[in-house]
Amino acid sequence: MKLPNSKALPINLLSACFNNTVATYKFYWFLSILQSLEEGKTKINKRELFSRMISNAWYTVNYFHISFGKQDLIQQAIQVVNANENIAIDEKYQIVFQELSTTTNRITEKQLWHFNKNVPHWFMSPWFQKMERNEIYQESQNFKNKCLYSLYDDEIVINPEWKNYLIENARVLKDFCYWNLALFLQTKNPNVPDIPNKLIKPALRSSLTQQRTQFWDIVLKELGSVKCIYTGKNLTIGNYAVEHFIPYNFVSHNLIWNLIPADKIFNSSKSDKLPPLEKYFNSFFSLQKTAIEIVKTKSPKNKFLEDYLSIFPDTDLSFTKEKYKERIQPLITIASNNGFEFLK
């Protein structure tokens, strides 16, 4: 994915900012600049930008447990801030940003300003090659080489020559950042599914109403009731929750092969915990297998049967317990390695 062209601006130098990427800060710094510009600001306080950087990455690190790499400053800062601020791991971006912009917690402030040591001036290194920090600050204040912004102790000032380009192409430029950020994070998390959809908190999570009414209600209507694999409680139509066996926070999808009926109270407490397979897999598989057989008979064209093809593309859904476990076990292992805890 390439940046939009401009005859008047050195787009090649802006592109070069993202060469040889070894951390996520370049993407989050540029995204934060674009967000501030979209609010009409051309003189932008550095603390605002540092707060935006953390806020943009907050959901990805805390909710989905995506690894940014051991040396990444943003992931480290989020872990420290998370321990010192009362902010939910799945909080909305705007609320996280507001909290970080106004907090007086010295530990949090220190984490924010730690980015000032390198981020603002090294991002500009394509315009000022082989120059040190003080030189870049000084040269940028005259917008030398048509650099993107000028640097000061507490703020940056967007070069007027770049303003219209950045605003007019903001959507494409943000897509460029997210696309390359996803590629970068995929190298750090090679076995984690659906990285692109774990970069931005959705406005609302999709409802599971259709999975309930068009799949599991068919099963419960045929059987009368099923037992919750976690609590043993009898579940009937209208009196159960649809829950993700492997947490949504990891798989980030609502495919039916990972969904089962569960006790409503237990489902609320399970959160993003992983189910130990030695304790729960046999019951999970038995319930899934029974459901498939019933739905294939009662509703052979049911659209949710197609969900199983995403993990069993070469079968007619007559797969074995061993094959199902072969698909589930690696996901559980990877999720555990990424920091998801097991049910006790």
Question: pLDDT (tens digit, 9 = 90+) per residue, 3-53?
Answer: 999 999 999 999 999 988 888 999 999 999 999 999 999 999 999 999 999
- Give the domain range for residue 29: 11-198
Does one domain contain both 226 and 185?
A: no
Is position 289 within any domain?
Answer: yes
**Domain identity same for 129 and 221:** no
Please give the model's pTM, rounded to 2 decimal places: 0.76
117 and 182 in a single domain? The answer is yes
Same domain, 284 and 150: no
Structure tokens at 25: 């800060």
In angstroms, rounded to a whole number, what is the distance separating the alpha carbons of residues 120 and 156? Answer: 8
In angstroms, how far is CA 308 from the centroid of its own chain? 24
115: nearest Cα among 72, 150, 85: 72
pLDDT per position as a tens digit, 282-337: 999 999 999 999 999 999 999 999 999 888 876 677 778 998 999 899 889 988 98
Average pLDDT of 178-193? 91
Domain contains 344? no
Q: Which amino acid is at 128?
A: F
Same domain, 127 and 191: yes
**Can you give the pLDDT at residue 69?**
87
Sheet-wide strand order for 155-158: 43-45, 155-158, 149-151
Same structural domain, 169 and 214:
no
- Whether 6 maps to a domain, the answer reads no
The distance between the two most distant Cα atoms of the chain, rounded to a whole number of Å, is 76
Residue 203 confidence class, pLDDT cut points 50, 70, 90: low
**Does residue 2 belong to any structural domain of this protein?**
no
**72 and 129 in a common domain:** yes
Whether residue 170 is contained in a domain is answered as: yes
Distance CA 248, CA 216 (A): 18
User: Looking at the structure, do residues 27 and 49 belong to the same domain, yes or no?
Assistant: yes
Number of domains in the chain: 2
Q: C-alpha distances in angstroms, 170 versus 60, 179, 309?
A: 22, 14, 38
| 99 located within any domain | yes
Final residue belonging to a domain, choices 198, 219, 247 = 198
Residue 116 lies in a domain: yes
> The tokens of 225 are what?
């009731």
Average pLDDT (223-229) is 96
- The residue out of 198, 218, 243 marking a domain boundary is 198
Residues 29 and 159 in one domain: yes
Domain membership flag for residue 328: yes
- Residue 75 has a CB neighbour count (10 Å cut-off) of 20
Q: Are residues 175 and 324 in the same domain?
A: no
C-beta separation of 54 from 77 below 8 A: yes
Residues 216 and 194 in one domain: no
In 2-60, where do the E strands start and end? 43-45
Decide which of 198, 226, 261 is a domain's last residue. 198
Q: Does residue 52 contact residue 31 with C-beta atoms inside 8 Å?
A: yes
Q: Give yes or no: residues 219 and 183 share one domain.
A: no
**pLDDT per residue as tens digits for the range 232-263:** 999 999 999 999 999 988 888 899 999 999 99
